[in-house]
């Protein structure tokens, strides 16, 4: 009987292990904060500059990245809202590389950076993993 009980316990443990098991997020309490990610294009003096041909592309999906706020909020020269929590569902939990590119109006110089952002499994907000948010022109 003891051997049968032991086998039952071992079998139960093995069957309960599931590599694809998602984390239980039932106790997750989100706040009302709405997070967004900005980048700043600056000249060599560190001042915000006017940009042409701005783009942000998710390199995993090759889709344009955008924020609903960017249409009305990009009022500071050189500052762009790349994405916000509304875009979070499009990001992978492992993190996606977002390539941000812009051309400085005065010098016609084009610069790009890559910022890695992720959608945590049980997160309320996207997470910036790495990358510079200041893009400096020569």
Q: Is 88 helix (H, G, I), strand (E, B) or coil?
A: helix
107 within a domain of the structure (yes/no): yes
Structural domain tally of the chain? 1
61 within a domain of the structure (yes/no): yes
Question: Rounded to 5 degrees, what are φ and ψ at 137?
Answer: -90, 150
Its domain, for residue 116, covers 38-136
Residues 90-138 have pLDDT tens digits of: 999 999 999 999 999 999 999 999 999 999 888 888 999 999 999 999 9
Q: Residue 89: how many CB atoms within 10 A of its CB?
A: 8
75 within a domain of the structure (yes/no): yes
More confident residue, 97 or 69: 97
15 within a domain of the structure (yes/no): no
Q: Residue 71 has what pLDDT?
A: 63
Distances (CA, A) of 128 to 52, 67, 79, 115: 25, 15, 17, 7
41 near 49, Cβ under 8 Å? yes
8 within a domain of the structure (yes/no): no
Q: pLDDT-based confidence at 29, cuts 50/70/90?
A: confident
66 near 73, Cβ under 8 Å? no
6 within a domain of the structure (yes/no): no
């Amino acid at each position: 009987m003891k051997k049968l009980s032991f086998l039952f316990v071992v079998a139960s443990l093995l069957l309960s292990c599931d590599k694809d098991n998602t984390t239980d997020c039932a106790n997750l309490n989100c706040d009302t904060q709405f997070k967004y990610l900005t980048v700043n294009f600056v000249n060599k003096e560190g001042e915000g500059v006017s940009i042409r041909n701005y783009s942000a592309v998710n390199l995993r999906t090759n889709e344009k990245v955008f924020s609903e706020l960017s249409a009305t909020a990009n009022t500071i020269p050189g500052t762009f809202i790349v994405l916000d929590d509304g875009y979070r569902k499009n990001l992978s939990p492992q993190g996606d590389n977002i390539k941000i590119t812009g051309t400085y109006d005065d010098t016609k110089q084009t610069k790009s950076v890559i910022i890695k952002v992720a959608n945590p499994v049980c997160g309320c907000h996207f997470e910036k993993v790495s990358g510079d948010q200041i893009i400096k022109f020569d």
